[in-house]
Structure 1
Amino acid sequence: MSTAERLVESTRELLWERGYAATSPKAIQQRAGAGQGSMYHHFTGKHDLALAALTRTAEEMRAKAEAQFSAPGGAAERIDAYLRRERDVLKGCPVGGLTQDADLMADPALRAPVQETLAWLRGRLAEVLEQGRASGELAAALDPQATAATIVAVLQGGYVLARAADSAAPFDQAITGVLGLLAAHTTTADA
């Protein structure tokens, strides 16, 4: 891994663990095993490096989600796979958790990857739900936009509940609950 890659990966980890304000250039350099000169050779500073790290985290999150959203199967099955995929629940969402970082959210450039990724997630979920409505799998009365927003809110809230309880159980319960609500809007083939 190149020095620039180590710096970006170290920044990604530190942002997830500590947030923007608590991530110092020195901590990034130490974790990456890189000197100050190397950091400033590749990046103009902490802000530039954080933006590269946030962009990569957002791209990775989208790619992982898209793997489930574009997989074969019905809409409910694909959403179930997305919500139940393996996650480090107690660490929180690497993108959504950053919304609690006041310094990051106050910076339009740093906020953009977070904002865009959560908007993409709501939009992509709405598309999958609309596909389910169009195929007859989901009830015509289901509102894809509102349901997608609910799913994202439950997912992000599940992380918060799990972290507060220091247990994945509240997250699992929230996911089971939202999937139960979605199941109530599925149609049956023999109905």
Structure 2
Amino acid sequence: MMANKKRISADKTKKRAKKADKTKAKKAIPAVKPPGQNRGVAIKKTPVLLVILFQLITLGIYYPIWFLRRMKSFNKMAKITGEVEISKAALVFALVLEILSAVAVLFGSRAGIFSLITFILLTVQAFRSRRIMVSYQKMHKIKLVMPGLAVFFISPYYLQYEINRLNIKIGTRRKKNTRIRS
């Protein structure tokens, strides 16, 4: 009986040791994969004309929404490249200001200060996104030119255009399921 208890306690200690080894192995895995394995970060590919259409339909409110919908992917790329991440608080604040600006315009009031603050916030985020994308391109040895003037004047459209090109270059675009018909 005593030998049986010793065997059971020995089995328990072996199980605990295996669990400890597994947790150590999990902790030993680096958070960032080597550059060759990071090709899986994909930002949502959207036709630029559709972005322009959404911008017109929503009276300019779509621009902060565009950033919010792509923020997770931008931040993944930022972690990989070591760049500063995009701020969710700034984007939400810009969205609120953009909504206030649109409402003020609809009621015939002036909304200049809201528009100016929104423009500044979104321009900063656009250049941050550009920096993230340029670093990511350099890491993967992809040559895409991203002039700052284009980012400044036509931010969401130009960034989306470059995102579409980057997805094609890296190969993260999903292939359609093609079947051979007989």
Q: TM-score, normalised by structure 2?
A: 0.32
State which structure, 1 or 2, has the greater radius of gyration over its C-alpha atoms: 2
Higher relative contact order (CA 8 A, sep 6+): 2
